[in-house]
Structure 1
Amino acid sequence: MKTAHPTLAEIQRVFDLQKSRQQEMASTTVKQRKQLLRKLHAGVLKYRTAIQEAIYADFKKSPAEVDLTEIYHVTGEIKHTLSQLGKWMRPRKVATPLTLMGSRSYIQMEPKGVVLIVAPWNFPFNLTFGPLVQALAAGNAVVIKPSEMTPHTSAVMKQMVEELFEPHQVSLLEGGKEVAEALLKLPFNHIFFTGSPEIGKVVMKAASEHLSSVTLELGGKSPTIVDASANLQDAAGKIAWAKFLNNGQICIAPDYVLVHESVKDQLISLFKEKIRSYYGEDPHASADYCRIVNKRHHNRIRELLEDAIRKGATIHSGNQIKEGQYVSPTLVSDLPMDSRLMQEEIFGPVLPLLTFKNKEEVSALINAKEKPLALYIYSKTQKHIRYWLQSTRAGNTCINHSLVHHNNTNLPFGGSNYSGIGKSHGYFGFREFSNERGILKQVLPFSPTDFLTPPYTNFKRRLIDWTLKWL
């Protein structure tokens, strides 16, 4: 599907338009911002079928899965924001020290200005319109650059944006690498990027040229721990669902499982049962099992599996790779640590299993890698749970579940260092697109600082000494 890409002149025109009218967006009231969000909510519901069809055309994702993982996230974000926006925008009083007696202090949230959202292909609607909700709630003008890998979805989103918003409010610019590069050369006030750590470095470097602030939602190898005390039936169902949803193309998907050696075989058997219960005897025929987004990523996963097999890995199920970007749900164990499956983020329906004997081994292995975006723990032993929470680092963690922390708009979502910078969702997303402007207002006609101005007499020196000692 081919689309007309904007010229450099058109990109500059859109940016200049939003810059020239950013104060108009910044000055919007709670009521006006809610009106924009309600209009967006109505638009999402109106285009629901078109969104489903577009995402199916891009990588055969079922309508039900589109509803659950794309549309619901956006409508939920809008509803939560509508219920809380008045409180978020209200100036927040803070304490004032005694040395500044006679004044009051507060924090006022103000928009950053003109922001750029660079969206990924794996959840092309959710991860475009989710950040858009937060940016609009904060009062910003927004330029969106969707992924060129999901052209049908991008076309529907462009139609939505043009119908729902004025160009100075929100503009969506389709295109490939050249459009992204042209946008990154512009002095946006903030850039929100979702994608790989490698491209995240490029975005951050470009942003540094203009001292633009960034939110980077990246990824990495998110581990799942299953100890001997875990409810294995429950763990197998939840991990398999989280891993093979969206064909494994999720930044917070369980990337590999660390399972206690005493329950490995039982867990593998349960995984196989769950895969059959979700997708039938032949997942290729299942309407609920989507595909890899394109041939390049399809070949990449093939190469990961071929590398693992050459190095002695054991395939327990799956490893069927067919035309049409199909890769079956695959379980693999006995992996050497230098295999590509254990070195690279998989981003596909392949689940490696490693065994451990004691809880210290687990932390050592996790900490030997970059901080993951998510860590999942399946255990009934509180001592183990506490140990792994204290001895590891991760962007977010679920205990006895997977993925669902992403659904809680009251939690900050995001990584740490290699897995991301900044947070999103709910208030945390609103704050990410805002500047917290600290304001001190002198109320009384005098201030204690009036007694500490030059010349520094003996009395003033004694007063300074007393202040250092007691205040």
Structure 2
Amino acid sequence: MKPEEIQQIVSAQRAYFASGKTLPVDRRIAALNQLKDAIVRHEDEIEQALHADLGKSRMESYMCEIGMVYSELTYMTRHVRQYAREQRVRTPLAQSVSRSYVKPSPYGITLIMSPWNYPFMLTLDPLVDALAAGNTAVVKPSAYSPHTSEVLRDILTECFSPEYVAVVTGGREENACLLNEHFDFIFFTGSQAVGREVMRRAAEHLTPVALELGGKSPCVMDKTAKINLAARRIVFGKFLNCGQTCVAPDYIYCDAAIRDELISAIRREIKRQFGADALSNDNYGKIINRTHFDRISGLISQEKVVCGGRTDAGSLRVEPTVLCPADWDDPAMQEEIFGPVLPVLTYDRLEDALDEINAHPHPLAFYLFTEDKKTARHVTETCAFGGGCINDTIIHLATTNMGFGGVGASGMGAYHGKAGFDAFSHHKSIVDKKTWLDLPMRYQPYTRLYEKLVRVFMR
């Protein structure tokens, strides 16, 4: 798409938003219902596109993408009236004879830039929140998942006029053109490197941003953990979508005393969940492209492979792989893996492990397996991370009742449910002062009596 076409889209959306047509709550609900109906009509095409881009099975496409969008749509249509209402707050005595309230208001023209790993869900979930809050949106899906991007374009073009919701496809050139424009809010999901560029470009217009990034999310296990159950849940969370999940456990940090038992349990679980030959399992999926396949393959230190380790360049598949003993100097520990490679590190003292984790950039997710409530409380209080689970993995993002987001290097801002509505809203603080009474003490000339009254009112 040419720069002038993008400029026309933004200009048209600014005029459309200024018309006030996005503001009525009934209009917002109608838009969400339109979108839901279109998804229902195109479900088969969505599943086919996800399979073509990432090899996702029908079950995984629904469980991790389509169903998640349905959940967000259902939640928002039920709650948007409540969230859009003015919220009355207490008025201090010094400002008496007033009504104080907070008014949620849409930012205006929003830009949603989504990644390739969950290309359907990570495009439409934030769009649902943006529309519920009363904004217009320009949606930019990833060029790395072209089949899903095409279906998204078809669905959104069918539902909305471009002055309300527009889809811009393409690659880096289109991304650069979009970031040249003045948006009122930018929502970006992707890598830390691109997130820095988005934030830098947004700063030129003082545009607020939400950044959903990533990082090396640890999975800590102490001696009290139920090893077999932990292995089952770790294998599910790590190798879902071939490890191409921003909140996948990036590595295990376990007590040295349980390492061997844990490795054995993980081996069994990989075989149970993916079969004796995961590379031939039709439900396993594939790496998005050759560039990422080569990068992930290069992170496998063959001398440390205790499970898996095979690759197939033709099908872009990497076998579920476990590396042990791993250490912080390994190639797999130098970057976010974002693939089906799981290093296992050990500790002798839990505090040493937590100190090491806290010495690194804050992760997007943190997972702890323990049966000790005191340990769980201590770890969640002392470690900085976006969100996480105790005795499970990744499921904390699959709820509309909690916000999802990062902290520090793993992102800023949160969305899903109420947090998503708030992310795409500015909350105006307003005092409605009545005119039938005007207390004189704030006006000059000041007197001793007025000073005494002010001191009473403002205690």
| Contact 1:100/1:447, CA 8 A, preserved across alignment | no
Question: How many Å apart are 1:233 and its aligned residue?
Answer: 1.1
* Residue 221 of structure 1: aligned partner: 216
The residue that corresponds to 1:79 in the other structure is 74
Determine whether 1:355 maps to 2:346.
yes
Is the 8 Å Cα contact of residues 106 and 424 (structure 2) preserved in structure 1? yes
Q: Which residue of the partner structure matches residue 139 of structure 1?
A: 134
Q: Over residues 102-138 of structure 1, what are the superposed CA-to-partner deviations in whole Å (9 max), with x where a residue is unaligned?
A: 1110011110000000000000000000000000000
Displacement of 1:225 in angstroms is: 1.0
Within a 5 Å distance, the mapping from 1:130-279 to structure 2 comes to 130-279=125-274
Match for residue 443 of structure 1?
434
Contact 1:317 1:330 in 2 (8 A): yes
Alignment match of 2:450 (pick from 460, 466, 471): 460
SS in 2 for 1:21: helix
Return the letter of the residue paired with 1:404.
I
Residue 316 (structure 1) aligns with? 306
What is the aligned counterpart of 1:416 among 392, 401, 407? 407
How far apart are the structure 2 equivalents of 1:447 and 1:271?
A: 73
Mean CA deviation greater in 252-261 or 459-468: 459-468
- Give structure 2 stretches of 5+ with no counterpart: none
How far apart, in 2, do the equivalents of 1:350 and 1:25 lie?
A: 50
How many residues are matched?
458
**Is residue 133–residue 424 contact of structure 2 (8 Å, CA) maintained in 1?**
yes
Paired residue secondary structure (1:304): coil
Identity of aligned residues (%): 37
Structure 1 residue 394 and structure 2 residue 385: aligned? yes
Partner of 2:281: 286
Mapped partners of 2:218, 2:256: distance in 1: 16
| CA deviation profile, 1:321-364 (whole Å, cap 9, x unmatched) | 11221100000012231222112000000001111122202211
Deviation at 1:464, TM superposition (A): 4.2
* One of 11, 20, 24 as aligned partner of 1:16: 11
| Aligned residue number for residue 405 of structure 1 | 396
Q: CA deviation at 1:23?
A: 2.7
**2:299 aligned partner, one-letter code:** L
Aligned residue in 2 for 1:63: 58
1:39 corresponds to which residue?
34
Residue 26 of structure 1 contacts residue 113 of structure 1 at CA under 8 Å; is this kept in 2? no
Q: Which moved more, 1:349-358 or 1:458-467?
A: 458-467
**Residue type at the aligned position of 1:141:** T
State the secondary structure of the residue aligned to 2:431. strand
- Give CA deviations for 1:36-77 in whole Å, capped at 9, x if unaligned: 111111111111110110111112111111011110110000
Distance apart, 1:443 and its partner CA: 2.6
**Equivalent residue letter for 2:190:** G
Counterpart-to-counterpart distance in 2, 1:247 and 1:304: 15
- Displacement over 6 Å in runs of 4+: none
Which range is displaced more, 437-446 or 406-415? Answer: 437-446
Contact 1:291–1:325 (CA under 8 A) maintained in structure 2: yes
Stretch moving more, 347-356 or 329-338: 329-338
**Counterpart among 318, 327, 332 of residue 327 in structure 1:** 318
Contact 1:124 1:147 in 2 (8 A): yes
**Which of 89, 107, 111 is equivalent to 2:106?**
111
| 2:333 maps to 1:338 | no
Whole-angstrom distance in 1 between the partners of 2:289 and 2:457: 67
Q: Is the 8 A contact 1:33 1:137 kept in 2?
A: yes
The TM-score normalised by the length of structure 1 is: 0.95
C-alpha distance in structure 1 between counterparts of 2:422 and 2:106, whole Å: 9
C-alpha displacement of 1:461: 3.9
Distance in 1 of aligned mates of 2:446 and 2:333: 66
Provide the rounded CA distance (Å) in 2 between the counterparts of 1:220 and 1:183. Answer: 26
Match in the other structure for 2:24: 29
Taking the aligned partners of 2:204 and 2:336, their CA distance within structure 1 comes to 29
CA–CA distance in structure 1, aligned partners of residues 437 and 431 of structure 2: 14
Tell me, what secondary structure is at the counterpart of 1:219? coil
Deviations along 1:5-49, one digit per CA (max 9) or x if unpaired, are x11111111111001111335653222111111111111111111
Structure 1 vs Structure 2 CA RMSD? 1.3
Rounded to whole Å, the distance in 2 between the matches of 1:460 and 1:262 is 72
1:406 maps to amino acid: L
Instruction: Say which of 348, 363, 366 aligns to 1:375.
Output: 366
SS at match of 1:452: coil
1:260 to partner: Cα distance: 1.1
Write the deviation string for residues 262-305 of structure 1: whole angstroms up to 9, x where unpaired: 11111111111111111111111111101110011011111112
SS at match of 1:121: coil
Counterpart of 2:321, as a letter, is T
Distance 1:338 1:314 in 2: 13
Cα pair distance change 1:187/1:208, threshold 3 Å: same
CA distance in structure 2 between the partners assigned to 1:314 and 1:161 by the alignment? 47
Alpha-carbon distance in structure 1 between the residues aligned to 2:438 and 2:408: 43
**Rounded Cα–Cα distance in structure 1 between residues aligned with 2:178 and 2:39:** 26
Distance apart, 1:447 and its partner CA: 4.0
Is the contact between residue 93 and residue 457 of structure 2 (CA under 8 Å) also seen in structure 1?
no
